[in-house]
Amino acid sequence: MRILLKFVIDCDPDAAWRALHSPRAVAELYGPLLEVDALGTMPTSFASGDDVPVQMSVAGVVPVGRQLISVADRETTDDNGRVRVFRDWGVPLTGPLSVLDVWDHQMAVSAAPGDPTRTLWRERLTIGGAAAPALWPALWATWQWRAGRIRALAPTWAYDPESPADADAAP
């Protein structure tokens, strides 16, 4: 079973790509409803090949399960150019989602057609197993809410690094 999202967000593809690799930005996508905490040391940035176990809880109080985030990056092209894909193919370890046999979450970012300052965000969550039909409606609703969070947070992902000349000019 699949959940698909496709929309344009207000940041450039580089900023979106950095956000996909930022544990803090990823946690903000689920906040304030869900809190994501590392079981061990959380990396500053996810890298291809990482396996990061996390605990998810409602408002930091009610545990809803542990999940292994397994990261794989790849790059491809389409008619509009470069497409970068972040894949989390980790598995739910405990909680209601642990009954799933398949968890494959891929997020692709590329320049929006006709506007390289904005990002075309594409997302696909594939789930499988006997419980998938029962869990799909709740996951679908969560992904719609998550899409709203992505749209709201995307403008905050862009930043202009301070140049050495700017730093020298500061009082």
Q: Is 128 among the domain residues?
A: yes
Distance in angstroms (rounded) separating the CA atoms of residues 148 and 27:
14
- pLDDT recorded at residue 169: 58
Q: Is 50 among the domain residues?
A: yes
Distance in angstroms (rounded) separating the CA atoms of residues 58 and 156:
24
Compute the mean pLDDT over every residue in the chain, rounded to the nearest whole number. Answer: 91
pLDDT digits (tens, 9 = 90+) for 134-166: 999 999 999 999 999 999 999 999 875 555 655
pLDDT digits (tens, 9 = 90+) for 80-120: 899 999 999 989 999 999 999 999 999 999 999 999 999 99
In percent, how much of the chain has pLDDT > 90?
75
What HEC string does 87-105 produce?
Answer: EECCCECCCHHHHCCEEEE
- pLDDT recorded at residue 165: 59
Q: Is 163 among the domain residues?
A: no
With a cut of 60, say whether residue 168 has pLDDT above it.
no
Q: Is 167 among the domain residues?
A: no
Q: Is 37 among the domain residues?
A: yes
In 9-105, which residue ranges form alpha helices assigned H by DSSP? 13-20, 23-30
CATH number for the domain spanning 150: value is 3.30.530.20
Distance in angstroms (rounded) separating the CA atoms of residues 13 and 52:
24
Q: Is 68 among the domain residues?
A: yes
Q: Is 6 among the domain residues?
A: yes
For 52, the domain range is 2-158
The number of distinct structural domains making up the chain is: 1
Q: Is 170 among the domain residues?
A: no
Number of H helices, E strands in the chain: 4, 7
